[in-house]
Amino acid sequence: MQILVAILSIFFLQFADKAGSERVCLSELAIEMREQRGITIDSLDYEVSPKYLDSIRAMGAKVLHTSRWLNGATVQIPASQIAAFYQCSFIQAIELTRGAKDSVDISSISLRKHAVDSSIPSDPPPLVTEAQHFLYNLPPLHQAGFEGQGIRIGVADGGFYNADSLPALPQEHWLGYADFTDEKNDIFGTKGKHGAMCLTAIMAKSDSYQGAATKADYFLFRTEEPDTESPKEIDNWVAAIEMADSLGLHIVSTSLGYTTFDTEVFNFSYADMNGRNSRGAQAAIIAARKGLLLIVAAGNDGDKTWHYISTPADADSILTVGAVDIFGEIAGFSSFGPSADGRVKPEVCAVGFQTVLVDPSNGNLIYSNGTSFACPLVAGMAACLWSALPNATNMEIRDRIIRSANRYTQPHEQYGYGIPNAWLAYTGETTTLPYTISNVEISSSYSKIIQNGQLYIRHQGATYNLLGKKIE
């Protein structure tokens, strides 16, 4: 233990109470939303004790984040001074969260960090379809005029490379952004485009592409450190979710998950995936109580030794999303449930195998694989549904989505409750639209072909990729 303390310098300090706290950390909009939904403002909404923060700063701590929900602060403390903090009566617990700076090859951990297995063709075809929307019957909601208007969505992720200049991401729907990482620089810069890719799935709109909720408004949160994987990133994420609550957002889509870290002592076990052990899961549950709908990627470990969901996907009262192809068949990489305490996980699935996205580097259409991209599709569905049912609560929206799913009565360890039906969730009535890929109508006379890890459609003697291009 002494060796760890010598190496690690970032800690989470949990305070015993909120002595001297007077400020409620909520915007007027957030307070209005609470009142409309009958959610009482309580001690969790008050700031962390200012006098405790002043005290630890005087002792040499640099405060990186505070958490009003978990009543603590993420701080950097010189290792030589940590013993003094154990003597403070107002500090209830101290937890190590990160080393001084681990030297890690980013490329070696990118799949683990972001729960994504990117598969980008070198020459993507020029046409697009909305095949991923047909699977969960979203087009009827769009045609009825519900495209997320009036709903505020947060996206918590890594970098959002070029998102501020990509024509397919309309600026009139941007609410703002915040950076919770150490770098505090341009979130639209060169490091990380995973967040921007997720954003296109839900927000992008062009002549050739339709996101899931193009009329919602968006706030971006960068929470992933570029060079390390540590529990400090969970603290970044908690801070972002608390800000989302303060701003009065409705939904947060987050394609991040944590199981293992650069320093193995922090690694979670499957027993930890019980919705209670990680600070991320604890915050997610509180967020749900406060009226936020959190939608989280299940993870891409289904074909690995660790094949379970990650955290905060293990939290209760959220929507955890697995990945299927456009035919509704599970992607092998999609992580398994249930949670360690036996709850159904993931709750639902959406297209995460060869999901059609917009490449933020150049605006071209691409494929990519991962529960990361299934997650924002469900977030977009939730936004459209909430647009149609503006007086609903977050739990009512969640319940409607789950109950509409095709395996609701027989949940599965990978599918969860299955693939939701947006129109059924809205009306209770089943309806379908013609299944169309580009100009090719898909009826009972189609088949699926997988070659070299790519999915193709065989119809009337011809083969098409998911972007509608005929393959000779």
**343 domain residue, yes or no:** yes
Report the CATH number that the domain containing residue 131 is assigned in CATH. 3.40.50.200
Percent of the chain with pLDDT strictly greater than 90:
67
Domain end position, chosen among 74, 97, 120: 97
| DSSP-derived pairing of the beta strands 293-297 and 251-254 | parallel
Domain end position, chosen among 394, 410, 427: 427
305 and 395 housed in the same domain = yes
Q: Please name which of 157, 133, 160 lies closest in space to residue 380, comparing C-alpha atoms.
A: 133
77 and 127 housed in the same domain = no
348 and 454 housed in the same domain = no
Residue-number span of the structural domain to which 450 is assigned = 435-471
pLDDT averaged over every residue in the chain: 86
pLDDT tens by residue, 69-102: 999 999 998 877 888 999 999 999 999 887 654 3
Phi, psi of 214 (to 5 degrees): -80, -10
| Token pair recorded at residue 134 | 């047909």
**106 domain residue, yes or no:** no
417 and 442 housed in the same domain = no
What pLDDT score does 305 carry? 92
What pLDDT score does 242 carry? 97
Number of domains in the chain: 3
**205 domain residue, yes or no:** yes
pLDDT tens by residue, 168-179: 998 889 999 999
pLDDT tens by residue, 4-38: 433 448 999 999 999 999 999 999 999 999 999 99
Q: Using the predicted structure, report yes or no on whether residue 134 has a pLDDT greater than 70.
A: yes
Domain end position, chosen among 55, 70, 97: 97
What pLDDT score does 433 carry? 45
**104 domain residue, yes or no:** no
What pLDDT score does 57 carry? 95
225 and 241 housed in the same domain = yes
Residue 111's pLDDT band, with cuts at 50, 70 and 90, is very low
**102 domain residue, yes or no:** no
What pLDDT score does 446 carry? 61
167 and 190 housed in the same domain = yes
Residue 115's pLDDT band, with cuts at 50, 70 and 90, is low
Task: Output helix, strand, coil percentages for the chain, rounded to the nearest 5.
Answer: 30, 25, 50
pLDDT tens by residue, 31-56: 999 999 999 999 999 999 999 999 99
CB neighbours of residue 85 within 10 Å = 18
327 and 196 housed in the same domain = yes
**332 domain residue, yes or no:** yes
Give exposure, 418-442, as e/b (b: 16+ Cβ within 10 Å).
Answer: bbbbbbbbbeeeeeeeeeebbebeb
149 and 177 housed in the same domain = yes
412 and 440 housed in the same domain = no
Distance CA(213)–CA(199), nearest Å, equals 10
Residue type, 100: A
Q: Coil, helix or strand for 158?
A: coil
417 and 441 housed in the same domain = no
Distance CA(73)–CA(198), nearest Å, equals 29
235 and 136 housed in the same domain = yes
Residue 404's pLDDT band, with cuts at 50, 70 and 90, is very high
pLDDT tens by residue, 249-282: 999 999 999 999 888 889 999 999 999 999 999 9
Contact between 332 and 360 (Cβ < 8 Å): no
In order, the DSSP letters of 339-389 are -TTS---S-EEEE-SSEEEE-TTTS-EEEEBSHHHHHHHHHHHHHHHHHHS
Helix pair 371-388, 194-203: axis angle to 10 deg: 30
Contact between 202 and 376 (Cβ < 8 Å): yes
What pLDDT score does 219 carry? 97
Q: Which residue has the higher pLDDT, 110 or 239?
A: 239
348 and 243 housed in the same domain = yes
Residue 125's pLDDT band, with cuts at 50, 70 and 90, is very low
**392 domain residue, yes or no:** yes
Contact between 81 and 5 (Cβ < 8 Å): no
pTM over 0.75: yes
Q: Using the predicted structure, report yes or no on whether residue 135 has a pLDDT greater than 70.
A: yes
Q: Which residue has the higher pLDDT, 185 or 287?
A: 287
**272 domain residue, yes or no:** yes
